Structure 1
Amino acid sequence: MTKLTRRQTLAGMGAIGAAGVLGMPAIAQARTLIVPTLGGVWEQFWRSTVAPDFEKASGAKVTLDVGNGRVFGANLRAAGADKPPYSVIMTNEVFASGLRKEGFFEKLDIAKMPNYNDLYPLAQVAGGFGATGAISPIGIGYRTDMIKTPPKAWKDLWTNEEFKGRIGLYNFANSAGKMELLLASKLFGKDQYDVDAGFDALAKLGQVVQVDFNLSTALSAGEIVVAPFDFGEIARLRKQGLPVDCIVPEEGMIMFDQTISILKNGPEKELAYEYANYLLSPEVQTLMAKEFFVSPTNSKVVIPDDLKADVPVSGEAMSKILTWDWDFVNEKQGDLAERWAKTIQ
């Protein structure tokens, strides 16, 4: 926590006093929303565009807290559900699911978030407890110059001999790794819960390259020729001159997601709703599509023609994205992680 010097404290008191003299409501001037955000290019975009634009629209101050889902979850649990440091959070659904079950979030007051009604059904999460603010659909990315037969389906990873020993996977620490297991369970077993079948199938892939975060390096180096990739990352690699492509598998896509949740006991709940509704607006959703090549979750957004190659999944194609039971994954987290470490080469 930041410690204020005596001079800073006096200066702050003076600012509040000045607001009173000028006839402005001191409380309104003091409204501050702490916004957790990812680092890197996400932080840059939030600092340059999202935060200042929301400040202008709301008259409030935005303070960014840079980290990731694991960090934000740890911060919330350390503070407790009664006194959370945040009023709103946007994080992967795998993390949001656990925090929701622990009682941190409230069911959304949709009257305060009119943009919620325009979301694709996929983005209306957990019976109204969350709203997906960003989606990066994941298909099969591959090197067009290093294979003769492009993939069409996830099962091609098992059947195409060109891929043997040259397949990339996210490891279990990444939410995509967890989805790879559930997907294999669904493809080769009864359903997503049939993890015995899923692990058996993943073991049959043989030697794979596993990463926690970045498969692009291995694909660029030719160490792998095929892997689960989000379309935005393939677009960035293509713009760098790498001969790559990404397809929508016949069985459906998985996704990286960012769920917006409102803290039940957050210190600036009304401001949090303003911010959440702002993020879901067609204007901001369009800006994020242009900046990160993510698929807009607001159905009113129409992808412009010059962006369709980089953001190919929108409209009806959003229904081809698969969803998963993250409560199940979180409950079995330890056992599944241990089995993954023993099973996947």
Structure 2
Amino acid sequence: MKLTTLMCASLMASAVSTVFAEPTLYLGSFGGSNEKTMKEKVIPPFEAKHKAKVVYVAGNSTDTLAKLQAQKGRQELDVVIMDDGPTFQAAQFGFCDKLADAPIYKDVYDIAKYNDKSIGIGMVATGLVYNTEAFKKAGLPAPTSWEDLTNPKFKQKIAIPPISNGYGLQTLVMFAKLRKGSEKNIDPGFTALQKEVGPNVLVWEPSPGKMAELFQNGSVILGVWGSGRVSSLKATGFPAELVYPKEGALALGVGACPVVNSDVPELAQAFLQYMLTPEVQALMAASEGWGPTNRNTKLEPAVAAKVPYGPEQIGKLLPIDWTTANEKRAEWTNRWNRTIER
């Protein structure tokens, strides 16, 4: 009798536990400082409000996209946060669910409204980074144009990330446009990088840490980088500045989307909307250097100076045609490896 009673009690407890088990959202996003910020400052309030648990799956954009491809038809992730290029790919490949209607999307800048399945939750400006003290010592004026990368005065004094990195691909597209080409006519870009920019490049450097080291040890004094990276370099006390070239800086977005066939679809949609609230947008700007995509976000002056902020600056950022770029990226990468980084 006692055994029967105990078994019944155990079954009832198990049933109650199942009924009241908190829903779990699996989030694929960046590692490093971003993971720390999300786990310590962003995720806990969301978990408390929704009585849910968020499991953080760290990885760069390539890793996260690869997970979506490997788990096709049986997705484990519920929300993904990646660079804008891979985010567009995820939507194109059918890994993203449609965004649910919500008032907050009306507050997002048009450049961050990717499509009906993904959205930009942060913005980085890609421009020119330079060593202010080195320029001053050499009697050189501050760079103002993408064309400064072709100046023979900077022979072997420039570092640019390769095409495997968003910054390198953007540089290729920018020079294609400067030479009357486009994403659909990339030949002028390759010619410019090979013959005009290439001779000045010491290294096509993919690692952020190595890139910073090259500036710090004086190997390079000019390069192409994003506002967040430059802000981090400046935070070390290094005399670096980001320049928005007169032809325009390029928009490098942080994108996000709800994953198809999620077992917590409403929670996934709520998390995306939460990431766009002015409070979270301001937090990510201060901690990670993401320019807010919600136009109602208010930033402290010191933070605003480090990120693309406000209609005027956001309005000057130039977008990439990621649909074309993603379709051609493998072809461009092979060509880059043959002609640029030989």
Q: What TM-score results when the alignment is normalised by the length of structure 1?
A: 0.88
Correspondence for 1:271 among 261, 267, 287: 267
Q: Determine if contact 1:130/1:260 at 8 Å carries over to the other structure.
A: yes
Where do 1:219-230 residues align within 5 Å? 219-230=215-226
Q: What CA distance in whole angstroms lies between the structure 2 residues aligned with 1:333 and 1:156?
A: 26
Correspondence for 1:133 among 121, 134, 143: 121
- Residue 5 (structure 2) aligns with: none
- Residue 341 (structure 1) aligns with: 337
Q: Determine if contact 2:46/2:271 at 8 Å carries over to the other structure.
A: yes
Tell me the CA shift for residue 286 of structure 1: 0.4
Segments of 5+ residues of structure 2 without an aligned counterpart are 1-9
Q: Determine if contact 2:125/2:307 at 8 Å carries over to the other structure.
A: no
Question: Compared with structure 1, are the counterparts of its residues 139 and 28 closer, same or farther at alpha carbon in structure 2 (3 Å cutoff)?
Answer: farther
Tell me the CA shift for residue 312 of structure 1: 5.2
Bigger mean CA deviation after superposition, 43-52 or 233-242 = 233-242
Q: Which amino acid aligns with 2:78?
A: S
Question: Compared with structure 1, are the counterparts of its residues 105 and 335 closer, same or farther at alpha carbon in structure 2 (3 Å cutoff)?
Answer: same
Q: What CA distance in whole angstroms lies between the structure 1 residues aligned with 2:14 and 2:154?
A: 65
Where do 1:257-296 residues align within 5 Å? 257-296=253-292
Q: What CA distance in whole angstroms lies between the structure 2 residues aligned with 1:312 and 1:323?
A: 14
- Residue 326 (structure 1) aligns with: 322
Pairs aligned (count): 323
Where do 1:23-172 residues align within 5 Å? 26-27=18-19, 29-80=21-72, 82-111=73-102, 114-126=103-115, 128-147=116-135, 148-158=140-150, 160-172=151-163
Question: Compared with structure 1, are the counterparts of its residues 172 and 199 closer, same or farther at alpha carbon in structure 2 (3 Å cutoff)?
Answer: same
Q: What CA distance in whole angstroms lies between the structure 1 residues aligned with 2:236 and 2:305?
A: 15
Q: What CA distance in whole angstroms lies between the structure 2 residues aligned with 1:145 and 1:131?
A: 39
Q: What CA distance in whole angstroms lies between the structure 2 residues aligned with 1:156 and 1:142?
A: 11
SS of the aligned residue for 2:133 comes to: coil
Correspondence for 1:213 among 183, 187, 207: 207
Q: What CA distance in whole angstroms lies between the structure 1 residues aligned with 2:161 and 2:147?
A: 17
Q: Which amino acid aligns with 1:135?
A: M
SS of the aligned residue for 1:332 comes to: helix
Tell me the CA shift for residue 207 of structure 1: 4.4
Tell me the CA shift for residue 309 of structure 1: 2.7
Q: What CA distance in whole angstroms lies between the structure 1 residues aligned with 2:11 and 2:213?
A: 52
Segments of 5+ residues of structure 1 without an aligned counterpart are 1-11, 20-25
Q: What CA distance in whole angstroms lies between the structure 1 residues aligned with 2:334 and 2:274?
A: 41
Q: Which amino acid aligns with 1:226?
A: L
Q: Determine if contact 2:152/2:200 at 8 Å carries over to the other structure.
A: no
Q: Percent identity?
A: 28
Aligned-residue CA RMSD (Å): 2.0
Q: Determine if contact 1:185/1:193 at 8 Å carries over to the other structure.
A: no
- Residue 8 (structure 1) aligns with: none
Tell me the CA shift for residue 14 of structure 1: 8.0
Q: What CA distance in whole angstroms lies between the structure 2 residues aligned with 1:312 and 1:326?
A: 20
Q: What TM-score results when the alignment is normalised by the length of structure 2?
A: 0.89
Q: What CA distance in whole angstroms lies between the structure 1 residues aligned with 2:11 and 2:331?
A: 53
Q: Determine if contact 1:86/1:267 at 8 Å carries over to the other structure.
A: no
Q: What CA distance in whole angstroms lies between the structure 2 residues aligned with 1:51 and 1:151?
A: 40
Tell me the CA shift for residue 76 of structure 1: 1.5
Tell me the CA shift for residue 281 of structure 1: 0.3
Q: What CA distance in whole angstroms lies between the structure 2 residues aligned with 1:13 and 1:102?
A: 44
Q: What CA distance in whole angstroms lies between the structure 2 residues aligned with 1:16 and 1:291?
A: 42
Q: What CA distance in whole angstroms lies between the structure 2 residues aligned with 1:38 and 1:14?
A: 41
Q: What CA distance in whole angstroms lies between the structure 1 residues aligned with 2:19 and 2:255?
A: 29
Q: Determine if contact 2:123/2:292 at 8 Å carries over to the other structure.
A: yes
Tell me the CA shift for residue 40 of structure 1: 0.8
Q: Which amino acid aligns with 2:47?
A: E
Question: Compared with structure 1, are the counterparts of its residues 59 and 223 closer, same or farther at alpha carbon in structure 2 (3 Å cutoff)?
Answer: same
Question: Compared with structure 1, are the counterparts of its residues 193 and 153 closer, same or farther at alpha carbon in structure 2 (3 Å cutoff)?
Answer: same
